Structure 1
């Protein structure tokens, strides 16, 4: 094997390590969360519904593949995306799923067609946002990291507390973590069943500003 062939093999071997680290739904969920905001192991475990030990193990695999990085702040270790392009990588995987995997697309269509769920595209949401109420249904931690200008933070598990304060004379647009986050549909469904005019925006804050 000549030097050029060795070089090619080495480069593809390094890329294969990234591919191997992505071969887990749990690790993809963790990356999807870290796109929203840097987080501790405990926060990631809570949001991903994994044990702390399991979350830590997955993070070490992702770190070894250079997809996440960590820094120590006081008594906590904060994990973050190693590179902003990971956001593009996750979105590209979703694009391929929507284009090529029938079960993937069917699951999306089924979720979006449930009674009480009304969806809205990113383009249409931007057209009516000036006369609408925009709700960010993520956690306060994620909202504080960055959100759409004018959006108010009502975490999905606290919607009931805000029902009396929401307007019934204007559209409500709900967004969360993006296309694979079911929370927007759940919140929208609840609001529409309560008599509001609510729309589920299956795009993230980063999608909006991009």
Structure 2
């Protein structure tokens, strides 16, 4: 084989392998999924993932070296965001493949839904039903993520305030709750809580990112 062509091919694969280094950690995958919801400072990522700030910074450095995330300055804060829309699509596509190819993933999701014992709803159904006046689409994410983008006609009630304000929700409306998608889990928790209080409730285990990038429609 021609040496020049071999060097060319090997160089390409070597550079592409930098991406797999960024993806090769469950915590880095969690960080990337979190950033599909919008930019965040290292402290916000640390709080959401349960990692120390130091560990979060190390993971972010790997992701930056892999060209999967970029930084920008807002006042005194450095904010991290996905490097491009295609990175967001890559992460969602990876989760799709996981659900299709890994029986363990499907089992984990099914058991979690079964234990919650709440009605599930697809993304398409939720968006369509939210047009009806007797349906309330509830976004459980932090306010800054809601403001960065949310499902059509959704109303913000961050999970941090949910337990204090849940009884103020109207009982004459069907409530659909969503958070950061299947990898989050808060939608089932909130739906279970509301259901126990007598609210007609559905859990939407998809996210704004799923809707924005048009990747998934199933429950």
TM-score under structure 2 length normalisation: 0.91
Partners of 1:115 and 1:179 in 2: how far apart?
Answer: 14
C-alpha RMSD over aligned residues: 1.3
Aligned to 2:87: 86
Whether the aligned pair in 2 keeps the contact of 1:45 and 1:55 (CA below 8 Å) is yes
Which SS does the other structure have where 1:187 is aligned? helix
Q: Does 2:134 align with 1:158? A: no
Q: Which residue of 1 aligns with 2:62?
A: 61
Correspondence for 2:141: 138
- Contact 1:116–1:188 under 8 Å retained in 2: no
**Aligned position for 1:167:** 170
1:201 equivalenced with 2:209 (yes/no): no
Contact 1:173 / 1:200 at 8 angstroms: preserved in 2? yes
Separation in 2, partners of 1:206, 1:168: 28
1:123-156, CA deviations, whole angstroms, 9 ceiling, x for partnerless residues?
A: 2223322221010000111111111222111112
1:97 pairs with 2:98? yes
Q: Tell me which stretches of 4 or more aligned residues in structure 1 moved more than 6 Å.
A: none
Q: Which runs of 5+ in 2 are unaligned?
A: 215-219
Q: How many aligned positions are there? A: 210
Contact 1:116/1:192 (CA < 8 Å) preserved in 2?
no
1:26 aligns with 2:22: no
Aligned to 1:188: 191
Which 5+ residue runs of structure 1 have no aligned equivalent? Answer: none
- TM-score where L is the length of structure 1: 0.95
Range 151-160 or range 186-195, more displaced: 151-160
In 2, Cα distance between the equivalents of 1:94 and 1:147?
Answer: 20
User: What do residues 172-210 of structure 1 show as CA deviations (whole Å, max 9, x unaligned)?
Assistant: 111111221101111111111111011111111132243
1:188–1:178: structure 2 CA closer, same or farther, 3 Å change rule?
same
User: How far does residue 115 in structure 1 lie from its aligned partner after superposition?
Assistant: 4.0
Q: Is the 8 A contact 2:64 2:70 kept in 1?
A: yes
Equivalent position of 1:111 in the other structure: 112
Distance 1:20 1:187 in 2: 35
Q: Please state if 1:176 is matched with 2:193.
A: no
Contact 2:116/2:188, CA 8 A, preserved across alignment? no
